[in-house]
């Protein structure tokens, strides 16, 4: 692992590795599809017309750049300057649209007519269904039965947008199993379908491709902040909003902090393993069976983490912390009441860490903090109604 690679979050090795993590651990049936996607991405990324079209979609359709909002009340209360990068204001309500618009453009360029996706909280599924509608493609979204039950609003949105939502009943019936099912479906439909993976996970080139498509979060924030923040913080499940945010600040002295759910903390509690086509840190038992993650936030209910995070973490460039469900609920309520922003349960993880750390040596008084609010909380109302008074 080279220092330069860490410092710039540049392209992975030819084998798709970030240090010892990453790679392409997929059945032979999927290797040509991954290779074709990589070639298409390299070609598109070098094509100014592709960037132009993507930039236009981001501006005219997704509503970018998203705002950078100073959280004035909280800042005063906590003694730190807290700046919120507002991905909740992007079309469809989360950062997921950044990735999906890029992948849908790529898929169209590759002549694909269908998008297959996995989703946990449903935000990636909604973004995929949205892009499919916009591009005139079919969309099939795999979602764990348990997540369908707790994210009904997003299921309805996907169906309204014309996507087929397929309930996954195997295993933990959450994002992990939806990912397995989506990859299996891709094997059978690889000619016509693009697998629109929702995070910086999966086989090469996905972790790289998705980070490049989410890089816009960090680059915009960098341009919007008057000073380089002391700390840049984002929630981490698979880790796409954090990767996109970090990419804008990795070459600065800013500390990079990823915040995981205590019950789904692959960076904190995982060991090296191979799941869903990539090698990274994975929650697993002593026999090598993948453990079921547990979080109040369906989007963080995932036992792996993107390989570049594993690399950033083990090389020391980024730090990863965990917060509990109780801290998350408290943070969500506090942000709502002090700033008038109801964020997603996922994003509230990052807020919870700031609440806990402010004024401690981990986040000294006077620090400037940039925090990515990855999405809005509408989808979580049913969960919150049961939890928050």
| Residue 96 is among the residues annotated as catalytic for this protein | yes
Binding mask 329-358 for another protein (x = CB under 8 A): ------------------------------
- In the complex, least distance from residue 27 CB atom to another protein, rounded to whole angstroms: 4
Residue 24 · residue 204 · CB < 8 Å: yes
Give the three-class secondary structure for 349: helix
Q: In Å, how far are 134, 197, 283 from 100, measured between CA atoms?
A: 11, 8, 27
Per CB under 8 A, does 42 bind another protein? Answer: no
Residue 159 appears among annotated catalytic residues: no
Does the protein bind another protein through residue 33 (CB under 8 A)?
A: yes
Task: Return the residue of 8, 10, 170, 365 that touches another protein, per CB under 8 A.
Answer: 170
- State the Cα–Cα distance between residues 150 and 379, nearest whole angstrom: 9
**Phi, psi values for residue 108, rounded to 5°:** -60, -45
Does 279 engage in binding with another protein (CB under 8 A)? yes
State the minimum distance, in angstroms, from the CB of residue 16 to another protein: 9
Instruction: Indicate which single residue of 59, 184, 251, 366 sits in contact with another protein (rule: CB under 8 A).
Output: 184
Of the candidates 171, 173, 239, which has an alpha carbon nearest to the alpha carbon of residue 202?
239
**What tokens does 108 get?**
């169209």
Of 385, 333, 374, nearest in space to 355 by CA? 333
Residues in the chain: 389
Contact between 366 and another protein (CB under 8 A)?
A: no
Under rule CB under 8 A, residue 31 binds another protein: yes
Q: Kindly state the smallest distance separating residue 305's Cβ from another protein, in Å.
A: 14
> Given candidates 158, 190, 235, 250, which one binds another protein under the rule CB under 8 A?
190
Instruction: Report the half-sphere exposure of 116 (CA within 13 A, side-chain side).
Output: 20
**Residue 247 binds to another protein (criterion: CB under 8 A):** no
Q: Which of 102, 83, 101, 105 is nearest to 92 (CA)?
A: 101
Known catalytic membership, residue 118 = yes
C-beta closer to another protein: residue 202 or 248? 202
Kindly provide the residue ranges of all beta strands, DSSP E only, lying in 175-219, ordered along the sequence. 193-195
Q: How far apart are CA 278 and CA 285, in angstroms?
A: 18
Binding test (CB under 8 A) with another protein, winner from 76, 188, 382, 388: 188
**Strand partners of residue 373:** 86
Q: Which of 220, 280, 374, 379 is catalytic?
A: 374
Can you tell me which of 4, 286, 360, 389 binds another protein, judged by CB under 8 A? 286
Return the active site residues. Answer: 96, 118, 374
Q: Can you give the binding site for another protein, defined by CB under 8 A?
A: 15, 20, 23-29, 31-33, 170-171, 176-177, 180, 183-184, 187-188, 190-191, 271-277, 279, 282, 284, 286-290, 314
């Amino acid at each position: 692992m080279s220092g330069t690679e860490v410092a710039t979050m540049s392209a992975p090795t030819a084998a798709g590795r970030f240090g010892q993590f990453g790679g392409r651990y997929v059945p032979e049936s999927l290797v040509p599809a991954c290779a074709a996607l990589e070639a298409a991405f390299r070609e598109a990324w070098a094509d100014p017309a592709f960037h132009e079209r993507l930039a236009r979609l981001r501006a005219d359709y997704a509503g970018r750049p998203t705002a950078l909002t100073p959280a004035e009340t909280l800042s005063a209360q906590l003694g730190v300057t807290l700046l919120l990068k507002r991905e909740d204001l992007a079309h469809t309500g989360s950062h997921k649209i950044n990735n999906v618009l890029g992948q849908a453009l790529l898929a169209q360029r590759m002549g694909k007519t269908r998008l297959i996706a996995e989703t946990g909280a449903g935000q990636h599924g909604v973004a995929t269904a949205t892009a499919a509608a916009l591009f005139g493609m079919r969309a099939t979204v795999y979602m764990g039965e348990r997540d369908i039950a707790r994210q009904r609003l997003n299921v309805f949105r996907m169906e309204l947008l014309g996507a087929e939502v397929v309930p996954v009943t195997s295993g933990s019936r959450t994002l992990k199993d939806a990912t397995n099912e989506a990859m299996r479906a891709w094997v059978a439909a690889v000619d016509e379908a693009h697998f629109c993976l929702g995070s910086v996970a999966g086989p090469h080139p996905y972790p790289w491709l998705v980070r490049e498509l989410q890089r816009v979060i960090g680059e915009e924030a960098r341009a919007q902040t008057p000073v380089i923040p002391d700390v840049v913080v984002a929630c981490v499940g698979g880790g796409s909003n954090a990767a996109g945010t970090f990419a804008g600040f990795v070459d600065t002295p800013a500390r990079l902090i990823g915040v995981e759910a205590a019950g789904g903390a692959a960076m904190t509690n995982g060991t090296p393993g191979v799941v869903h086509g990539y090698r990274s840190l994975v929650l697993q038992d002593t026999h090598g069976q993948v453990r079921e993650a547990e979080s109040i936030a369906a989007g963080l209910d995932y036992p792996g983490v993107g390989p570049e995070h594993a690399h950033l973490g083990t090389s020391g460039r980024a730090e990863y912390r965990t917060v509990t469900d109780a801290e998350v609920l408290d943070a969500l309520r506090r942000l709502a009441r002090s700033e008038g922003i109801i964020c997603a349960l996922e994003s509230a993880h990052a807020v919870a860490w700031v609440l806990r750390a402010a004024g401690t040596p981990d986040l000294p008084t006077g620090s400037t903090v940039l925090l990515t609010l990855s999405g809005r909380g509408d989808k979580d109302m049913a969960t919150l109604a049961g939890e928050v008074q």
